[in-house]
Structure 1
Amino acid sequence: MRASNQLTVAAVMLGSAWALSQPVNAQGVRSVDDTPTQDMAASPDTENKPIENKPIIVFGRAIEQIGIATSGSQGTVGYADFDNIPISRTGELVENVPGVIATQHSGSGKANQYFLRGFNLDHGTDFAGFVDGVPINMRSHGHGQGYLDFNFVIPETLERIDYRKGPYFADVGDFSAAGTVQFVTRDEIDPFAQIEVGAFSYLRGVAAGSTQLGNSTLLIAAEAQSYDGPWVLDENLERFAGLVKYSHLLNNGSLDIQLNGYDSRWTATDQIPLRAVENGTIGRFGFIDDDLGGSTTRIGGVANATVGNTKFNAFATYYDFELISNFTYFLGDPVNGDEFIQRDRRTIYGGTASHGFNLGSVGFTIGGDWRYDAIDRVGLYNSVDGVSINTVRQDEVEEFGFGLYGQAEMQLAPRLRAIASLRYDRIGYDVASDLTVNSGAGHDDLFGPKLALAWQPIDDLELYANYGRSFHSNDVRGASISVDSASGNATDPVRVISPADGAEVGARFERGRLTAALVGYYLELGSELVFVGDAGNTEPNDGSRRYGVEATLFWRPTDWLTIDADYAFTDARFVNVGADNHIPGAVPEVFSGGITLNPTPALSLTAKLRHFGSAPLIEDNNVRSDPTTLLNLGGYYDFGRLRIGAELFNLLDAKDSDITYFYESQLAGEAASSEDRHFHPVEPRQLRVNIRYRY
C-alpha cells in the first residue's frame, strides 16, 4: 500500500464503527492470499474465540449499517477499500472520508492541509484525528492550532478507517466540529516485503509481519522513504517509521500494547507568488527561499484493553518539531527578510475509559478521557539562512483537559431508535512566557448535549436526524496574552473553548450490492480559526455558519466491478460582519469517484478522480482560486506470492494548484509590496512501480 498527494479514495461505505462487531455480508468479503482482518469479520458471539486462519479482506463500505448507524454521514473503510488504490502520501489516506481533500504546500514531511464541509482546516482545526485511540491533533502547537500529522502511520499496518462527521458524538470533544477520523491498526499481518521506485528519485521500502505466541500475537513493521520531488530545489525527504504491537486474547476481552516511532526531515518549496512565475523570475516548480524545510520526531507508547463491556486506553507521546518558513519574503524586514522558525517540543500523556450496561430496555454508556500536554518549548524565531537571529516569543506551557460523558440509547418503537447524550469538557492551562505580561493561568469549560433519531420506514431505508454541540480549543497562549510579541501593541485575549452547534438530517439506502446516502447539515462556530500568511499561524476570527449537502454511493454490480462516488456542496460565511462575509479558503464543492475492475482474481485495475472547486481567497469574494481536477490510475497483478503494481499519478498532467492563498508580499529587488496569489502546484504526471513479496 502506498500513499498519495493526488488520491481520492472516494465514496466510503456509510456506517458506524460499532458495526464492526456485526456479521459481515458476503457481498462485502473476498478471499485473498494475505492480510487477515479478523476483527472486521467477527460477530459478537465469536469475537473473543479463536478464529480460523482463513485470510479475508472486508470492503468496509459494503457492511450493512441500517439499524446500527446513528447518522447518515458516518462510516467505515476496510483494508480492501484502499489496498489496491494509487496513493502517494500517507496523509491522503483521510481522503477515504467522503468530502475530505488533503493537499500539501510545504514539503512531504509536513502535516497535510485538510478541507472538509467548507472548512480550510489548515492542518487539523475542527477535524479530530486518532490512531488506535490516541488523539493526534496538537493543542497550542508551534505551527498552528490542532496540527494534525498522520505521516508517522505505515499504511500497510492499517486494518480500517472509521469516520464520523459533525458534533453529534459524545465520545469525542476537542476539534470535532467538522468531523472525526480514527485509524485502527491490525493485530496480524502475513509477512511481506515491498519496494517502490518512481519519478523524481522516489524510493520507498516497507516490511511487516506477525507471529503467534500462544494466545498472543507480535507484529513488527518498518518503513523507509526518500524523495526529491519535481521541485527545482530538491525536497531531500528522509522518512523512517516503525511499529511494534503485542496483542493478547483474554477470556472476556483483549489487550494490546504498542510502540511506534517516526523521524522525518525535508527541504520545502512553499507556495510561491504568481507574479514571479508570470515575469519569468522562477518556474512553476521554483522557489524563493532555499532555506525552508523542517523535521519531526515522534515516539509513542499505547495500550488498549477491553474487558467485557469496559474499554481502556492509555498513551504517552514524545514529540519534537521544527519548521522554517518564509511567506512574505522581504515585506516586514527589507534587510534580513521575513524568514522564521517555529519550534515545538512536548510530551503528552492521556487516556480514555468507557463502560456499557443495560437498565431494562435502555442501553447506557458512560466514559471519559483526559490529556496532559507538557510543552517545554513552543516558540517563534526570526531567522536568516535557516539560523535563528532573535526570539519573537518562546513559552513553556502546561495544558490539561478532561471530558466526561453519558449516553443512553432506547428503542422508542420497533423501527425507531433514539440516542441522547451529554458531554462535559474542561481545559486548564499555565503559560510561562519569555515576556512576563503574557504569562498566566486559567481554564474554560463547556457542556455539549447530543441527540439522534433513527427511523426505518422500510427494510432498505433508514432516516436520521441529529443535533449536537462540540468545540475546538484555541491556543492557550492567546488566552494569557496581553501584549503582541511582534508589534508590542496591547491585545485582547481569546476564550480557550470556541463552541460549535450543528444539526443534520440524512437518509441511508442499502439494497443488495448498493449502498447510498444523502445528508443535509447546518453548523455554527463561535469563532473561526483562519490561517494568517504573514504569521504562519492560525488565529481566531469572527463566528461562522455553514450549510450543505453530501451524497455518497458504493455499488458492486458484479464481483469484478466496483463503482464509488461522492459529492459535497457547502455554503460557508462569517456572521455579523456585513457584506464581506466569505471565508477565505472555504472550498464549496468537492467531487471524487472511482472505478475498480477485477477481470481475473489476480488482476486489479483502478481509476480515481478527485475534484475540488474554486474557493474565495478574500472576504469580498473578488479573488478566487482556480478549481483542481486530478486523475490517477493503478494496476496490480498477483503472481502467487509476488505482486507487481504500477501507479500513474496526474494522468492528464494538470497544471492545477494544490493550494492557493492571496496576501501581501515583497520580493527582493521590488520597490514596493504587492497583494498577489501565492500557490503551490500539484505535482506533474509521474509513474511509480512497486513489487511486494509475501513470505
Structure 2
Amino acid sequence: MLTERDSQGTGLPAYCCAPEIGRIAKREYFMKPHHTAGGARLRITRWSWLLAALPLPALAVETLGEVTVQASKQAQIGIADSASEGTVTTTQLANRPLLRPAEVLETVPGLIVTQHSGDGKANQYFLRGFNLDHGSDFTTTVLGMPVNMVSHAHGQGYMDLNFLIPELVSGIQYRKGVYAVEDGDFSATGSARIDYQRALPVSFVDLGAGQNGYRRALGAASTPLGGLTFLGAVEASSNNGPWEQPEHLGRTNAVLRLSSGTANNGFSLSALAYEARWTATEHVPERAIASGEIGRYGALSPRDGGRTHRYSLSGDWATTGSQFGAETATKASVYVIDYGLNLFSSPSGFINGPQGDQHEQADRRTVWGGQASRSWFLGPRLFDSELILGGQLRRDDIGSVGLYDTVLRQRTNTVREDRIRQTATALYSALKTPWLPWLRTSLGIRYDRIQAEVTPLGGAFNMDNGGTASGSQTSPKLGLVLGPFGNTEFYANWGRGFHSNDARGATARTNPKDGMPVEAVPLMVRTRGSEAGVRTSLLPGWQSSLTLWQMELDSELVFIGDEGVTEPKGASRRHGLEWSNDVALGKGFHLDADLALSRARFKTPVNGGDRVPNAIPRTASLAVSYDEGGRWFGGLRLRYLGAYALEETGQEKSTPFWMANLKLGYRLDRQLQFSLDVLNLFGRKANDIEYWGGACTRNELNAGACGGGNGIDGRLLHPLEPRTVRLGMRISF
C-alpha cells in the first residue's frame, strides 16, 4: 500500500485510480522521495495532495510495497510555482526549541524574529533586506484569519502572534515575493498560512518550568463527537524574564474546534480566545549601560508594558465536484475578530522632563470578512489547465484608535483619537497550464480596492484631520517553470503587489502634536518584484533551492505610532540571494540549513546616505533534529545575524552574532516524556536588536545635557536574553 505523510504525520492511503478523480490526475511528474522500498521510483501527480485527502473507498491496486514520503519545506519539485515557496510540517516543528511562539516563523528560510520590548507585544520581523517592524510587509493568517492589523495604534501591519500555540500547528505554507494571486496587502516580502490540527494523535498535558519565574501549562485533547471531531486546548503561562524590572507576563489562551473531513474536503468551526498582560523593558541607550546608570537588563522607566486581547470565531468549508464538464475544488471561509490593545511605552526616556516620555497607544476594533475560491481542472483538451477564480473581503471597524501622553499609565493628554472604518475587497484569477511534461506556466491577475473613513474624536491639533481616502490597484503575476529535468526544476517569476498606508496618514492635514501642516500620503504603495531560481535533489534525501530576487518599492512611508504621523522615507530597491537546504540524514536525523544575502538602498539619498536602516544583509541558520520514535529525541539550532546599518550613511552598524538553542527529550514510556530546553546555549552577550536615535536618561536630564528637545543621538539596544534553562513534562492519554 502506498502511503503519504499528511501534515499531522499520520499515514493516509493514497488511491490513484478512482474513476471520478482520474480525470483530475492527468498531469504527472516524477519525484524521488526521501525513502523508497527497494529503490522504487514514486510517481506523484500534481493533485496527489487532493487524492490523499479525499475519503475514497479502497480499490484494487498493484501493491508497490510501503513508501514513506517525508513532506518537507523543499519537497516541491513538480508542484511549486516558484523556487522560494514551501511547506513546513509538524515534524520540523516538534523538536525545535522556541523562546517565543512567533519563532515558528523562523522555519521560513531567511526570516528572523526578535523583540525590542516586552514579550506581550508583537515581535520584530526581518526578511529579504526589510525591517518588517511588527509585520508591515509580510502577511500571516492563522486558520484563514488575518493577523496583520491595518491603521493600527502602534504601526501599520502590526502582527501579534503571541496567541499562537505551537503544539497545535499542523503546518505552515509560505511564499516569498508578490507572485501569488491569493496574497494582497502586506505581502511584498511574502506570506505564511498557519493552520491548526483537526485531531490530535493523542491527548496530552504539558507542564513547563524554568528560570526567571517561567511557568507554562497546556492541556489539549480531541475526540470523535457524533461523526464530527472536537478539539479543545487551554494554555496558561507566566514569565518575569531576566529583566531588573520583572516582566510579570501573564498569558491565557483557549482553542475550541469542531471539524469534519479534511482541509480539502470538509469543514471546521474554530473559536479562539487570548489575553495577556505584561510590564516591559524597552530598548535603552547603550551609554546608560556603559556608564552604570542602569544594568544590562535595566529599564529607564517604570510601568511600561500593556494588555491585549484577541477573541475570534471562524469557519471554513471545502469540497470537490464538477461543473461545466470539469472537475472542481471549492473553498470558502469567514471570520470575526474582537481585538484590543493598550500599550504603554517610553522609547525616548526623559527628553520631555522628569516625569518621563511615556505614552499610551490604544486600539479597539472588530475585524470581519472572508474569502472564497473555486478551481476548475479543464482536462486534456485544454492542456490539463487549472483555472482559479476567487474573492476576498475584509472590514475593520475601529471604534477608537488613539495616542495619549501618560505618567505611570495615567492619561494626562490626548494627542489624537480617531474612529476608522476601513474596507478592503479583492478579486483574483489565475490560469496554470502544463504545456509539456517539462514546461508549465502560471498567469494571474489581482484587483484590490481599499476605502477608508477617518473621524477625529480628540486631540487639540487633530480635529482638522480626517475624511475619506481610497485607492485601487491591478496586479499582474507571471510564472514560468522549466522541468523537471531529472530531479531539477528552474523557475522565473514576476509580479506587482502593494502595501497599504495608515488611513490617518492618507487623510492628514496637520501634525497632531504641534498643528503644523503636513502632506497626506497615498493609501496604497506599489511594489514590484521578480526572481529566478532552481530547486534540485542533489542526493537522495537532500532537497536544495537557490533563488535570486529583486524588489522595488515606490515609497517606504511608515506610520510612526509614537508620534501619530506618517514619516516619508522615499523609494527603495532591494536584491539578494537565498540558498535553502533540507536533508533527511536517515535513522531519525534531519538537517536544514539556510543562507540569505540582501542589499537594500534608497533610490535617492536620505539624511546624507542611501542605506535602509535595520535592513539585515546576511542571515544564516543551521538546525539538526533527531527523533527515531525511540526514547531519545531533540534538536539544536544555530542562527546568525550579520551587521546592519543603523542609519542612512552606514557609518553606524550593529554587532553581528551567532546564537544557539538546544532541546533534549526522553520518553519514559508512551504516556510520559521529559524535555530540557537551553536557550542561548553558549550564553552569548549580544543584542536582540539595535537602533540609532535620540533619547535621554534621567542622569542626562539632571545634568542639563538633553537640550533642544531631541535628546542625544546614539545606539539604542535591547539585549539578547542570557542562557535560560526550561524543563518540560508531557503526560499523554
Does TM, scored on the shorter chain, surpass 0.5? yes
Inter-CA distance 217–600: structure 2 relative to 1 (3 Å threshold): closer
2:341 to 312, 315, 321: 321
2:275 to 234, 239, 263: 263
- Matched with 2:136 is 125
2:259 to 212, 230, 247: 247
Contact 1:28/1:60 (<8 A) preserved:
no
* Cα displacement (A) at 1:335: 4.8
Q: Distance in 1 between matches of 2:427 and 2:35?
A: 36
Contact 2:34/2:69 (<8 A) preserved:
no
2:678 to 624, 645, 648: 648
Contact 1:122/1:531 (<8 A) preserved:
no
Q: Alignment identity in percent?
A: 37
- Does the alignment pair 1:478 with 2:505? yes
Q: How do residues 250-649 of structure 1 correspond to structure 2 at under 5 angstroms?
A: 253-308=265-320, 309-331=329-351, 333-359=352-378, 360-361=382-383, 362-434=385-457, 435-456=462-483, 458-510=485-537, 511-530=539-558, 535=563, 539-577=567-605, 580-598=609-627, 601-639=630-668, 640-649=670-679
1:27 to 29, 34, 38: 34
Inter-CA distance 23–197: structure 2 relative to 1 (3 Å threshold): farther
Tell me which moved more, 355-364 or 375-384.
355-364
* Cα displacement (A) at 1:532: 5.3
Inter-CA distance 239–28: structure 2 relative to 1 (3 Å threshold): farther
Contact 1:631/1:649 (<8 A) preserved:
yes
Matched residue type, 2:454 = V
Contact 2:81/2:491 (<8 A) preserved:
yes
Q: Distance in 2 between matches of 1:597 and 1:92?
A: 20
**Post-superposition CA distance 1:581-606 (Å, at most 9, x none):** 10111110000001223477221132
Contact 1:57/1:79 (<8 A) preserved:
no
**Post-superposition CA distance 1:509-538 (Å, at most 9, x none):** 124201000000000011114585963887
Contact 2:149/2:157 (<8 A) preserved:
yes
- Does the alignment pair 1:185 with 2:172? no
* Cα displacement (A) at 1:71: 0.5
Contact 2:416/2:564 (<8 A) preserved:
no
* Cα displacement (A) at 1:209: 0.9
**Post-superposition CA distance 1:281-309 (Å, at most 9, x none):** 11100011011001111100000000211
Inter-CA distance 403–631: structure 2 relative to 1 (3 Å threshold): same
How many residue pairs end up in the alignment? 663
* Cα displacement (A) at 1:215: 2.8
What is the DSSP-based 3-state SS (H/G/I as helix, E as strand, rest coil) of the residue aligned with 2:306?
strand
**Post-superposition CA distance 1:38-68 (Å, at most 9, x none):** xxx984334231799xxx9985426731111
Inter-CA distance 208–70: structure 2 relative to 1 (3 Å threshold): same
Contact 1:472/1:498 (<8 A) preserved:
yes
**Post-superposition CA distance 1:460-516 (Å, at most 9, x none):** 000000001111100000001100001210000000000110000000012420100
Matched residue type, 1:320 = G
Inter-CA distance 251–268: structure 2 relative to 1 (3 Å threshold): closer
Q: Distance in 1 between matches of 2:342 and 2:469?
A: 28
Contact 1:192/1:693 (<8 A) preserved:
yes
* Cα displacement (A) at 1:672: 2.0
Inter-CA distance 514–617: structure 2 relative to 1 (3 Å threshold): same
Inter-CA distance 62–324: structure 2 relative to 1 (3 Å threshold): closer
* Cα displacement (A) at 1:84: 1.2
Inter-CA distance 600–379: structure 2 relative to 1 (3 Å threshold): closer
TM-score normalized by the length of structure 1: 0.92
2:114 to 103, 111, 118: 103
Inter-CA distance 343–532: structure 2 relative to 1 (3 Å threshold): closer
Higher-Rg member (1/2): 2
* Cα displacement (A) at 1:654: 0.7
What is the DSSP-based 3-state SS (H/G/I as helix, E as strand, rest coil) of the residue aligned with 1:337?
coil
Inter-CA distance 670–584: structure 2 relative to 1 (3 Å threshold): farther
Inter-CA distance 163–80: structure 2 relative to 1 (3 Å threshold): same
- Does the alignment pair 1:114 with 2:125? yes
Q: Distance in 2 between matches of 1:234 and 1:323?
A: 17
Q: Distance in 1 between matches of 2:401 and 2:629?
A: 54
- Matched with 1:694 is 732
Tell me which moved more, 202-211 or 594-603.
594-603
* Cα displacement (A) at 1:96: 0.8
Inter-CA distance 636–670: structure 2 relative to 1 (3 Å threshold): same
**Post-superposition CA distance 1:296-342 (Å, at most 9, x none):** 111000000002111101000000101000111222x2254311000
Inter-CA distance 354–555: structure 2 relative to 1 (3 Å threshold): same
What is the DSSP-based 3-state SS (H/G/I as helix, E as strand, rest coil) of the residue aligned with 1:484?
coil
Inter-CA distance 633–451: structure 2 relative to 1 (3 Å threshold): same
Q: Distance in 1 between matches of 2:49 and 2:528?
A: 36
Q: Distance in 2 between matches of 1:23 and 1:227?
A: 50
Q: Distance in 2 between matches of 1:237 and 1:250?
A: 36
Inter-CA distance 243–57: structure 2 relative to 1 (3 Å threshold): farther
Contact 1:606/1:634 (<8 A) preserved:
yes
* Cα displacement (A) at 1:414: 2.1
Contact 1:561/1:596 (<8 A) preserved:
yes
* Cα displacement (A) at 1:249: 3.0
Contact 1:328/1:533 (<8 A) preserved:
no
**Post-superposition CA distance 1:636-683 (Å, at most 9, x none):** 112221111101111111110001111111222241231111100010
Taking only aligned residues, the RMSD between alpha carbons, in angstroms, comes to 2.5
Structure 1 runs not aligned, ≥5 long: 1-17, 30-40
Inter-CA distance 538–490: structure 2 relative to 1 (3 Å threshold): closer
Matched residue type, 1:646 = L
Q: Distance in 1 between matches of 2:35 and 2:258?
A: 28
Q: Distance in 2 between matches of 1:240 and 1:286?
A: 27
Contact 2:505/2:559 (<8 A) preserved:
no
* Cα displacement (A) at 1:559: 2.2
Matched residue type, 2:616 = V
Contact 1:59/1:79 (<8 A) preserved:
no
Tell me which moved more, 268-277 or 598-607.
598-607
Contact 2:257/2:268 (<8 A) preserved:
yes
Inter-CA distance 263–457: structure 2 relative to 1 (3 Å threshold): closer
Inter-CA distance 212–651: structure 2 relative to 1 (3 Å threshold): same
